[in-house]
Amino acid sequence: MALLETRRLTAFYGDFQALFGVDVALDAGETVAIIGANGAGKSTLLRSISGVLANGADQVLFEGRPVGALPAPEIVALGIAMVPEGRRLFPSLSVEENLLIGRYGRAVAGAWSLEGVYDLFPILKERRRNPGTALSGGQQQMVAIGRALMSNPRVLLCDEISLGLAPVVIKDIYAAFPRIRAAGASIVIVEQDIGQALKVADRVYCMMEGRITLSGRPSEIGRDDIHAAYFGTKTP
Amino acid sequence: MAVEALQSFRVETRTRLSSAFLVVAIAVLAIGFAAPLFSSRVVIQDLFFILTMLVLAQCWNLLAGFAGLVSVGQQAFVGFGAYTMFAAVILLGLDPLVGIVLAGLLAALLTVPTGFFVFRLQGAYFAIGTWVIAEVARLSFAQWKALGGGTGTSLPSGATRDMFGVRWIADLFGWRASQATDVLCYWLALALAAATILFIHRLLRSRQGLGLAAVRDNQEAARAVGVDPRWMKSTVYLLAGLVSGVTGALIYVQKARISPDAAFSVTDWTAYVIFIVVIGGIGTIEGPIVGVIVFFVLRNVLADYGSWYLLILGLIGILVMLVAPRGLWGLFTDRTGIQLFPVRRMLTGASTTKTITGGTHG
Amino acid sequence: MMWLDTIVQGILLGGLYALFAAGLSLVFGIMRLVNLAHGDLIVLAAFLILVLVTALGLNPFVAALVAIPVMFALGFALQYLVLNRTLGPDILPPLLVTFGLSIVIQNALLERFSADSRRVSAGALETASLQLGPINIGTMPLLTFLSAIAVIVGLNLIFYRTSLGRAFRATSDDRVTAGLMGIRPDRIFAIATGLAMVVVTIAALYLGTRANFDPTIGPARLVYAFEAVIIGGLGSFWGTLAGGIIIGVAQTAGASINPEWQILAGHIAFLLVLLARPRGLFPRAVD
């Protein structure tokens, strides 16, 4: 049984349907990447899983339990933490407070604590008294990841963490992922940077227009397949 | 083909029903004008009360419902207008009717300094800012000893009897002067209500009215398309002040006795008015009309219950805001689609009319 | 030395206004909600204390301690069940609902307690005073002022030193992301309003013991509180204290010239500050 899976997941923004029956699965210990063009529904998928958007209860299963209709705070309590798109640090909180608030809804013992996060991203310790928003983009992204880790999640959802960052900074941030995996979190990353996604993921899903168009192991899928699944230029 | 389809559309604000309603409205006005001929003095006084509250409600609705300016301080202009009229009669010996005109002009002038202060505040703080201004006005007028200070004063006896037109009406219909005064006040209130509604209707249908809706819905976007939100809001604030001042003066010609606490009463001139608009339906011209009728009925039914009356009124207001935020008239239009004073623009022609008319503003 | 006495008495009065204002400031800072029934809730709490004192024979301070959890629960329920439904981009619903609530509370109190003036007796404390050089300081005004400082220190500690305070600030910044942290915004708002009602009860204790009150005086307290908050700058508790002191000193100074000018002088001070510093004296950097 998968740790986390979606079954025929549909999602709407008012009258607008953004997801049309999406099936993805994440096994324990796995890292899965979801790629696709802008507006393909990747972020909507993460927002649905994390409870920001409400869905049908049995459209999202966590350890076989229906959780699709639960609001975000209850999802966090179950151990699914999200690094939201655009980082979304709290401007009124310092770096350290931003990290601490990650434990608000789920304060469990585990690999991640303030020390653990500072060890992972040492620069944050130096800047822990600064307001979160006074940091560079890459440092802000580290805070956002650290904040999600503070709840010692079983599943970490990362939405577009490389967006707007310089390649060297992206490399730094992804360098932390092996340790995050080693500490026991299963990971879903949403990426537009296909190269980066293929590098860290065990499996890849490609989305287009609210549907999954391709899935498989990075080693098994070729560039042409991805191109087709990404842009729909040719029938797979 | 696309071009042809486009040409078959027309932008309209009128509906067939609203045209029919125009005839009815004129008939209602005519009956209203003739009412003193076949109604008792008590009925005329009730109608005067209803009409003046309706005017205040339309003003507040223009501010809050159309311009997004939630004022809790319109009593400043009601009281100021009333005191201006009293000052004109008592200190200058002018005719009360001249006093009413002066009240409107000076109330409009007063909006300049008060607007200067309250427009520094946003949203909810604007609301309490207007209240502070009204309190300052109340406390200041309580210091004006020539007009009775804190205890207030009365119009000199005979001032309203000698008012322009009263004798003429009394002679024509064979009424006593006091009754003729009531009727004259009533006619003025009727004219004021009709003019206010007509004017607001025209305003909302005009280019400026569109700008107003744009400002309310999104100030930044409105600015981007060339609507100056400050200018629009200031204009509405000035107009509402002017009309409230005139109404205040008119109400106090009829009352003939004034005190700062009554003339600047937040309950009488703002709380009641807000309930009328909220219960009837905020953001529509019909809403205050429905609201004032409901308010009047409630007032009469609950008149003997003292503070229970206001308590129940408050509860109804809260309930309406939570359950049906667009009020009774909103519920009615949702069910029937009927609009008597249509102000929204509708695209007609082709076959898409039905889908486009629904819910253009929220 | 008259002027010095006037200023000292004004500062002490400012403590009372800061107590009126702190709850308003707290709620506005977190959820951008202006509760127009705030003044009436203070009066309601004063009547609750009065009932506890007269019916159970409690000391007013003990009565306030008993009233605090009751008022917290009332605030929590009010926010959770009613006011949370009104929050949104449109400012009309919260304003109109709290305005309606103000009318309801006033008239319910009138119905139950009549329009008579009341006072909570604080015994010998009422007349006790300290002689500091040339100035005579009433014990109750001094206690009020010290309580205001204690409340503001306490609120600052909660806001900046506790997990709850972080949740307050985070929710105020970004409700959706706060949800992703496991924060339930509707519950946070309810706790905030409950906390504001705790402050309201402390304010009510001094309102009721220092002067006469009746069911209709709430709106005026709301206006003083509001003026203190605006003068201080939105979101700063110490600023709120400064705002309260400015209103208090202005009122005492006005009253020393002519007793009828007390309230007017406070309002005029407010308008002058608004003229010079539209964002208040201590505006928060992040707004």
Joined tokens for residue A95? 């770096």
Q: Which architecture does CATH list for A4-231? A: 3-Layer(aba) Sandwich (3.40)
Question: Chain C window 209-238: which residues touch B at a Cβ cutoff of 8 Å?
Answer: 219-220, 222-223, 226-227, 230
Closest chain C C-alpha to B318 CA, distance in angstroms: 5
Say what the pLDDT of residue B344 is: 61
- Give the pLDDT band of residue B15 (cuts 50, 70, 90): low
First to last CA, chain C: 42
| Cβ–Cβ gap A102/C181 under 8 Å | yes
Contact of C21 with C244, CB cutoff 8 Å: yes
Closest chain A C-alpha to C29 CA, distance in angstroms: 12
ipTM over 0.95: no
Residue numbers in chain C where pLDDT is lower than 50? 285-287
Joined tokens for residue A156? 């970490």
Instruction: Identify any residues that bridge with A190 across adjacent strands, giving them in sequence order.
Output: A34, A159
What's the CA gap between B263 and B119, in Å, rounded? Answer: 24
| Cβ–Cβ gap C182/A105 under 8 Å | yes
Closest chain C C-alpha to A234 CA, distance in angstroms: 39
From the list C169, C172, C183, which residue is nearest A73 (CB)? C183
Contact of B288 with B276, CB cutoff 8 Å: yes
What's the CA gap between A37 and A214, in Å, rounded? Answer: 13
| Cβ–Cβ gap B311/C227 under 8 Å | no
| Cβ–Cβ gap C106/B266 under 8 Å | no
Say what the pLDDT of residue B350 is: 43
Contact of A33 with A198, CB cutoff 8 Å: yes
| Torsion sign over Cα B18, B23, B24, B26 | positive
- Collapse the DSSP code of C178 into the 3-class scheme (helix H, G, I; strand E, B; otherwise coil) and give the result: helix
pLDDT over threshold 90, residue B292: yes
pLDDT over threshold 50, residue B5: no
From the list A50, A82, A91, which residue is nearest C173 (CB)? A91
Any idea what the Cα angle at residue C89 is, between residues C86 and C92, rounded to 5°?
Answer: 55
pLDDT in tens, A136-193: 999 999 999 999 999 999 999 999 999 889 999 999 999 999 999 999 999 999 988 8
Closest chain B C-alpha to C124 CA, distance in angstroms: 35
Nearest by Cα to B65 from B299, B295, B273, B310: B273
Contact of C76 with C194, CB cutoff 8 Å: yes
Question: Chain A window 101-160: which residues touch C at a Cβ cutoff of 8 Å?
Answer: 101-102, 104-106, 131, 147, 151
- Give the pLDDT band of residue A109 (cuts 50, 70, 90): confident
The CATH class given to the B2-356 domain equals mainly alpha
| Cβ–Cβ gap A147/C181 under 8 Å | yes
Nearest by Cα to A151 from A188, A114, A189, A196: A114
Closest chain C C-alpha to B252 CA, distance in angstroms: 25
Give the residue with greater pLDDT, B305 vs B352: B305
Give the residue with greater pLDDT, B346 vs B48: B48
What's the CA gap between B56 and B52, in Å, rounded? Answer: 6
Say what the pLDDT of residue B359 is: 35
Q: Which chains touch A (3 or more CB pairs under 8 A)?
A: C
Local structure of residue C259 (DSSP, 8 states): G
| Cβ–Cβ gap B310/C86 under 8 Å | no
C181 — contact with chain B (CB < 8 Å)? no
From the list C176, C181, C184, which residue is nearest A101 (CB)? C181
What's the CA gap between B232 and B207, in Å, rounded? Answer: 11
What's the CA gap between C204 and C86, in Å, rounded? Answer: 27
| Cβ–Cβ gap B318/C93 under 8 Å | no
Say what the pLDDT of residue B2 is: 44
From the list A73, A91, A131, which residue is nearest C179 (CB)? A73
Any idea what the Cα angle at residue C30 is, between residues A146 and B319, rounded to 5°?
Answer: 130
Nearest by Cα to B59 from B210, B327, B265, B248: B248
A54 — contact with chain C (CB < 8 Å)? no
Say what the pLDDT of residue B361 is: 39
| Cβ–Cβ gap C223/B72 under 8 Å | no
Which residues of C touch chain A, with CB atoms under 8 Å apart? Answer: 163, 166-167, 169-170, 172-174, 176-184, 286
The total of other beta-carbon atoms located within 10 Å of residue B56's CB is 30
Which range, of A52-66, B85-99, C266-280, averages the lowest pLDDT?
C266-280
- Chains A and C are in contact, defined as 3 or more C-beta pairs closer than 8 angstroms: yes
pTM for the model: 0.89
Say what the pLDDT of residue C262 is: 94
| Cβ–Cβ gap A88/C177 under 8 Å | yes
Say what the pLDDT of residue B11 is: 61
Beta-sheet strand order (sheet of A155-159): A80-83, A155-159, A186-191, A31-36, A203-208, A211-216
Domain ranges for chain B: 2-356
Q: Which of B72, B151, B318 to mutate against chain C (most C CBs within 10 Å)? A: B318
Q: Which of A78, A89, A95, A101 to mutate against chain C (most C CBs within 10 Å)? A: A101
What's the CA gap between A187 and A44, in Å, rounded? Answer: 17
pLDDT in tens, B58-90: 999 999 988 889 999 999 999 999 999 999 999
Instruction: Identify any residues that bridge with B346 across adjacent strands, giving them in sequence order.
Output: B12
pLDDT in tens, C72-102: 999 999 999 999 999 988 888 998 999 999 9
* Selection from A14-18, B298-302, C66-70, C171-175 with the highest mean pLDDT: C66-70
Q: Which positions in chain C touch B130 (Cβ < 8 Å)?
A: none
Closest chain C C-alpha to B277 CA, distance in angstroms: 11
pLDDT over threshold 50, residue B358: no
Which residue in B has a C-alpha nearest to residue C258's C-alpha?
Answer: B143
Place of tokens 């009412």: B35
Closest chain C C-alpha to B80 CA, distance in angstroms: 17
What's the CA gap between B305 and B297, in Å, rounded? Answer: 14
pLDDT in tens, A213-226: 989 898 888 778 88
Which residue in C has a C-alpha nearest to residue B138's C-alpha?
Answer: C264
From the list C101, C219, C268, which residue is nearest B318 (CB)? C101
DSSP assignment of C133-151: TTEEEEHHHHHHHHHHHHH
| Cβ–Cβ gap A76/C182 under 8 Å | yes
| Torsion sign over Cα B7, B9, B14, B17 | positive
